[in-house]
Amino acid sequence: MTKKSESVVIELRNVFKHYYMGENIVKAVDGISIKVEKGEFVAIMGPSGSGKSTAMNLVGSLDVPTRGHIFLDGEDISLLSESDLAQIRGKKIGFIFQSFNLIPNLTAKENVMIPMMFQGVDIFEREKIAEDLLSLVELGDRADHYPNELSGGQRQRVAIARSLANDPEVILADEPTGNLDTKTGKIVMEFLEKLNRQGKTIIMVTHEPELAQNHAGIIYSLLDGKVDKITKKNNGFTKVAKEKLKKLKYSGKK
């Protein structure tokens, strides 16, 4: 592999996802190619029905394509079993959902600990990392609260902490501010930007053009299951991320 492709974290190569509903074929994703490089902030945009949710599921390896290949860190994941897929996404991808998707029976800290449990991290280490991550999202004092005791913004920050639990390559955010008011939405976006500046690759799915334009370096606009438009800003990288990437390249790490 060339040095350039080593910096590619996720690649969708001519991917199709068709659903069969009776006699009709729903072409949710109809041949898209997306390449996400390390440290990028990518937005996937589109109106409802454009296939962005399906694309997001494919990018997040929650779903497998009907046709085409998906590479995560250079590995073709389109052929993996569901359990192996789970293992990989648990390790390499952190999810942030519109409706937070915290587990209601568990405290904030326990929610953050769960992804590490699936990776077999020792329980004491899990606790320590979870506490650190909650401090990072400024919720250190809410660690033992249950989700229903937290505000929407706080819940989304717990979700951010959870997405970071296994120190993944990529954070996948599906309408992260969709259920939040403007102010708390802004705070959440600031956290995502901060993470991006620290080198995390962020892929955000949104239907708000403004959000995409304000934060993302590269925007894929989908329409009818196809990539309609690719908008690059600042050459696709934020400045800090670019420097970081350089360092990574020179040190010869993947």
Partner 1 sequence: MIVDSFLLSVKNLRHRGLRSWLTLLGIFIGVTAVVALISLGNSLQVAVGSQFGVGQTELITIQAGGVSFGPPGSGAVIPLDIDDFRAIEKLSGVERIAGRYLAAGKLEYNDKVVFGYIASVPDGDNRDFIYDQLEKGALKGRLLKDGESGKVFLGYNFYVDKVGLDKVVIPGKNVLINDESFEVIGILEKKGSFMFDNAVYMNDQDVDDLYDYGDEFDAIIVQLKDNDDMDNMKLEIEKALRKSRGVKEGEEDFDVSTPEAMLSTVNGILGGVQAFIIIVALISVFIGALGIVNTMTTSVLERKKEIGIMKSIGARNEHIFMQFFIESGLLGLLGGLVGVIFGTLIGVFGTLGINSWLGADLGINISFGLIFFSLLGSFLIGAVAGIVPAMNASKENPVEALRG
Q: What are phi and psi of 178, to 5 degrees?
A: -60, -35
Question: Which member of 46, 51, 115, 176 binds partner 1 (CB under 8 A)?
Answer: 115
User: What DSSP string describes 159-225?
Assistant: HHHHHTTT--SEEEEESTTTTS-HHHHHHHHHHHHHHHHTT-EEEEEES-HHHHHHH-SEEEEEETT
Burial of 1 (0-12, 13-18, 19+ CB in 10 A): exposed
**101 lies in the binding site for partner 1 (CB under 8 A):** yes
CA distances from 202 to 109, 137, 146, 186 (A): 23, 16, 27, 16
185 binds partner 1 (CB under 8 A): no
| 120 makes contact with partner 1 (CB under 8 A) | yes
**Cα–Cα distance measured from residue 11 to residue 150, given in angstroms and rounded to the nearest whole number:** 36
Which one of 162, 200, 215, 244 is in contact with partner 1 (CB under 8 A)?
A: 162
Structure-token pair, residue 22: 């009776």
Backbone angles phi, psi at 138, to 5 degrees: 60, 40
Piece in contact with partner 1 (CB under 8 A), picked from 5-13, 83-91, 175-183, 184-192: 83-91
Closest to 53 measured CA to CA, from 217, 172, 201, 211: 172
Residues 121-140 that bind partner 1 (CB under 8 A): 123
Question: Which CB atom, from 90 or from 236, has the smaller least distance to partner 1?
Answer: 90
Q: Does 19 bind partner 1 (CB under 8 A)?
A: no
Smallest distance from the beta carbon of 118 to partner 1, in angstroms?
4
Q: Which of 89, 142, 157, 244 binds partner 1 (CB under 8 A)?
A: 89
**Residues from 20 through 79 that contact partner 1 (CB under 8 A):** 57, 60, 62-63
**Total residues contacting partner 1 (rule CB under 8 A)?**
31
103 contacts partner 1 (rule: CB under 8 A): yes
Q: Does 105 bind partner 1 (CB under 8 A)?
A: yes
Least CB distance to partner 1 at residue 214 (A) = 26
- Interaction between residue 148 and partner 1 (CB under 8 A): no
Please report whether residue 231 would count as binding partner 1 according to CB under 8 A: no
